[in-house]
Structure 1
Amino acid sequence: MGDTNMPNQAFPPVPPTPREYWEDNDWANTHIAEIAAAYPNLWVAVVDKQVVASGKIISDVRKAAETKTGKTHFPVVFAESGIHVYTGQSPFSNQD
């Protein structure tokens, strides 16, 4: 079935997610109505309980937030406004 000659590789442990990530994620979830009103149908990056970047393409939003804040662990949420119905295609085809 599988290649039994593959060497065993030890991978380093995944570091824990920073506490600030979860605080920002909770803040975004609590304030999603206001975020959606201000940034309708956009991806939004949240750092230190504030929106630091937004846009239509999630990878661009992530890069902008990293450049602006120097951080790499932060929530990016979709500020959905209204009801969306997707048929026959991925709703987020612009993702990496």
Structure 2
Amino acid sequence: MRPDDAGEPEGRRPWERSTAHSGPPPGTVGDPLTGNGDGAWHTTRSVPSIVVVVLIVLWTVFAVQWKEKDCAFVPTSYLLVLTHGTPTIFEGCGDYPVDVTDD
């Protein structure tokens, strides 16, 4: 910072600034967390990640329902979620009326 600059861009007062220079000062890097100054990279990168995490959590919740029906948690419960969805009161593994592991 130069002593005559007083922290004002282009040496002017805020009401005298041009709107053409609204970004970060030349030669500086934008926000280090997002890769640029506007945050677009971070937003577009995190949305698919959030969707994947939510899907895995839902898949696990449904797999726990099969686990409560005496099915092995990994991999049987996860595979049954894909093939059968959630269990009905009659479905399960082992001593249930409809043993889905015999399919």
Task: Check whether TM > 0.5.
Answer: no
Provide TM-score, normalisation by structure 2: 0.24
Q: Which has the larger radius of gyration?
A: 2
**Structure with a larger share of its residues in strand:** 1
Provide TM-score, normalisation by structure 1: 0.25
Indicate the structure whose relative CO is greater, using CA pairs within 8 Å and at least 6 residues apart: 1
